[in-house]
Amino acid sequence: MNPDVLVYGAYGHTGQFVVTEILSRGLTPVLAGRNPAALAKMGLQHPTLDIRAAAVNDLDALDSAMGGVGVVVNCAGPFLDTGLPMAAASIRAGAHYLDISAEQAAVQQIYRAYDKTHDDIEGTLIPATAFYGGLADLLATTATSGWEATDTIDIAIGIDRWWPTPGTRETGRRNTATRLVVDHGVLTSAPAPAPVREWVFQGSLGRQRMIASPFSEIVAIARHLNVSTVRTYLTTSALDDVRNAHTAAPTAVDTTGRSAQQFVVEVLARRGTAQRRISAAGQDIYAVSAPLVAEAADRLLNRRANDVRGATTLGEAFDARDFLEALSATHLTLKYE
């Protein structure tokens, strides 16, 4: 398979982290997106890389942009607008498809369109390969390893500050779909108003006020784990940051471009009286999405994936614990209990 990785939305905030991460792994990114001027500007920093401009509603341009690439990484959101057309073009090109969607409805569209029973699909499609979505799915898959059935999975996302990008704000406005949780083993509408509770994080965040906030990890987990109840909670202060129109966009505090934002994601899984807790901590939720998606691209290109066809999840497609451990040296601090 061709080792080139097309990054769509390459000049976006997260797209730029992804391009850097792909390069650091010795793979070759192709810079893509809908804005030729923004691509040309980015190309000045990367004069050896190919640049391909195409809008998601221009099938011919998309098909020609994807010619010869092995993996497409879609970083252009809202994914309710870009997910399906980009996934379809990837499959037509014979490439694997990855995206970084936090939107449950966009992820479900791809699961439905590329069901595992489609034997004719050559590539693998993994939406939600990012901080929201894939990271909690990897943690939950690791925590429940060896259990045939799990009673509850609680996911606690602790963020000290959330400086949202324009893409995050636009996605929040666009994503009006009813949020889903898992109850009695099936996806169902999240309770309204969103429940509030406390969570005591193991690290420096300590005791936090949390609000139920289901993201794409819920639909990813529901796709492959046998679990009765799944809930996600987010620090209320982080949600307040995003809802405040005056909160600034992220600014870099180190040479890699990361903001000062600290995060920890804890997953608590219960089966009867047994309980397992696992957490991943790090810096900057946008930046950490890059190693998640690049690790997936690397593993798909080097055939270090489980034998799953069509649309799948990070936890189902790969050895979840091994995947997390691969990121633990540089990007994540893992704790098991």
Ligand X SMILES: NC(=O)c1ccc[n+]([C@@H]2O[C@H](COP(=O)([O-])OP(=O)(O)OC[C@H]3O[C@@H](n4cnc5c(N)ncnc54)[C@H](OP(=O)(O)O)[C@@H]3O)[C@@H](O)[C@H]2O)c1
Q: Which of 275, 317, 291 shows the shortest CA–CA distance to 143? A: 275
Q: Which residue has the tokens 């608590």?
A: 268
Q: Out of 4, 5, 6, 9, point to the residue binding ligand X (CB under 6 A).
A: 9
Q: How many CA atoms lie within 13 A of 254 on its CB side?
A: 8
Q: Is 314 among the residues that bind ligand X (CB under 6 A)?
A: no
Q: Out of 97, 111, 114, 131, point to the residue binding ligand X (CB under 6 A).
A: 131
Q: Which of 243, 167, 181 shows the shortest CA–CA distance to 213? A: 181
CB of 14 to ligand X, least distance (A): 3
Choose between 164 and 276: whose C-beta lies nearer to ligand X.
Answer: 164
CB of 212 to ligand X, least distance (A): 18
Contact 73, 6 (CB under 8 A): yes
Q: Is 97 among the residues that bind ligand X (CB under 6 A)?
A: no
Question: What does the CA dihedral 135, 265, 289, 137 come to, rounded to 10 degrees?
Answer: 10
Q: Out of 78, 83, 214, 310, point to the residue binding ligand X (CB under 6 A).
A: 78
CB of 23 to ligand X, least distance (A): 17
Strands (DSSP E) found in 19-79: 28-33, 51-53, 71-74
Q: Out of 24, 36, 118, 166, point to the residue binding ligand X (CB under 6 A).
A: 166
- Contact segment (CB under 6 A) with ligand X among 149-157, 184-192, 284-292, 326-334 equals 284-292
Q: Out of 4, 6, 11, 83, point to the residue binding ligand X (CB under 6 A).
A: 11
CB of 252 to ligand X, least distance (A): 13
Query: What does the DSSP 8-state code read for residue 244?
Result: -
Q: Out of 152, 165, 228, 262, point to the residue binding ligand X (CB under 6 A).
A: 165
Distance of CA 227 to the CA centre of its chain: 21
CB of 143 to ligand X, least distance (A): 19
CB of 9 to ligand X, least distance (A): 4
Q: Is 310 among the residues that bind ligand X (CB under 6 A)?
A: no
Query: What does the DSSP 8-state code read for residue 61?
Result: H
Choose between 164 and 310: whose C-beta lies nearer to ligand X.
Answer: 164
Q: Is 286 among the residues that bind ligand X (CB under 6 A)?
A: yes
Contact 138, 132 (CB under 8 A): no
> Does residue 36 have a cis bond before it (omega within 30 degrees)?
no
Greatest Cα pair distance in the chain: 58
Q: Which of 27, 1, 34 shows the shortest CA–CA distance to 11? A: 34
Choose between 64 and 302: whose C-beta lies nearer to ligand X.
Answer: 64
R_g (Cα) of the chain, nearest Å:
19
Strands (DSSP E) found in 128-252: 150-159, 180-183, 186-189, 196-200, 207-212, 227-235
Q: Out of 4, 6, 7, 14, point to the residue binding ligand X (CB under 6 A).
A: 14
CB of 57 to ligand X, least distance (A): 8
Q: Is 259 among the residues that bind ligand X (CB under 6 A)?
A: no
Q: Which of 233, 74, 236, 97 shows the shortest CA–CA distance to 167? A: 74
CB of 54 to ligand X, least distance (A): 9
Q: Out of 5, 6, 7, 13, point to the residue binding ligand X (CB under 6 A).
A: 13
Residues of the shown chain interacting with ligand X in the complex, contacts defined by CB under 6 A: 9, 11-15, 33-35, 38, 56, 75-79, 81-82, 100, 102, 130-133, 165-168, 171, 285-286, 289
